[in-house]
Amino acid sequence: MIPKAKIRRLGLFGGTFNPVHYGHLRTAEEVAEALRLSQLWFIPAALPPHKASKEVTPFEMRLHMARLAVGRHPLLKVSDLEARRPGKSYTIETLRILREQFGREADLYYILGLDAVLEIQTWKDYRDLFTLSHFVVLDRPGYDRSHLGEFLRREVHVDFRELPDGQGFHHPSGYQVLFQETTLLDISGTQIRRLVREGRSVRYLLPEAVRRYILEKKLYLRD
């Protein structure tokens, strides 16, 4: 459960986190600082809707790695919220639960990479996502953000308006989709799993405690 007291600006970082790595962690740190978030929660998907369940490491292990990664960071936290309900982990359901829990007065910022936004039309009830929370979009190497406005107007809502500073878009609900510049780190879970499978080093791509856990539990040794 995410404690309600005093949380005004809450960052939500959903994903598979298979495993969590410095691409996620450095981004989270920079977003939390830039948006002056009170807390930023990593929310690992219990059953990621887009991935076959046999491909994905058990939730408890991904959760544990995320906890090892954030340690005692004062703002970064890990939530097991998506394991508390049965079935696939749809973001829309998570946002509805959090909106109800925190009420209208809290600012929620859902953080996701440009690669993920450009597939948003494959998410359950995706148009409603933008009526529940602000979105913070991160650049990822290899993805071009120059057509995001056009994409959002075509796929989500025709009345997405560009913000005057060019730093994002405004949805008629009042919520915004904001760009956040962060250090571009070309690291992905796919790359880490492949390196481990090939018996190669993953040192310095992710926290040492997570690297040791992967070796100890013999994760990612096969497809």
What is the binding site for ligand ATP (CB under 6 A)? Answer: 15-18, 23-24, 27, 112-113, 115-116, 138, 140, 185, 187-190
Distance of closest approach, residue 184 Cβ to ligand ATP, in angstroms: 7
Q: Give phi and psi for 3, each to the nearest 5.
A: -65, 135
Cβ nearer to ligand ATP, comparing 81 with 112: 112
Min dist. Cβ of residue 220 to ligand ATP (A): 11
Residue 73 CA, chain-centre distance (Å), reads: 17
Q: Could you tell me the smallest distance in angstroms from the CB atom of residue 104 to ligand ATP?
A: 25
Cβ at position 33, least distance to ligand ATP in Å: 15
Phi, psi of 89, deg, nearest 5? -95, 90
CA distance 205 to 186: 10
Packed helices 208-216 and 59-70: angle between N→C axes, nearest 10 degrees: 150
CA distance 61 to 58: 6
Measured from the CB atom, is 56 or 106 closer to ligand ATP? 56
d(CA 148, CA 23): 22
Instruction: Decide whether 165 or 186 has the Cβ nearer to ligand ATP.
Output: 186
Structure-token pair, residue 75: 């703002």
Q: Which is nearer to ligand ATP, 141 or 172 (CB)?
A: 141
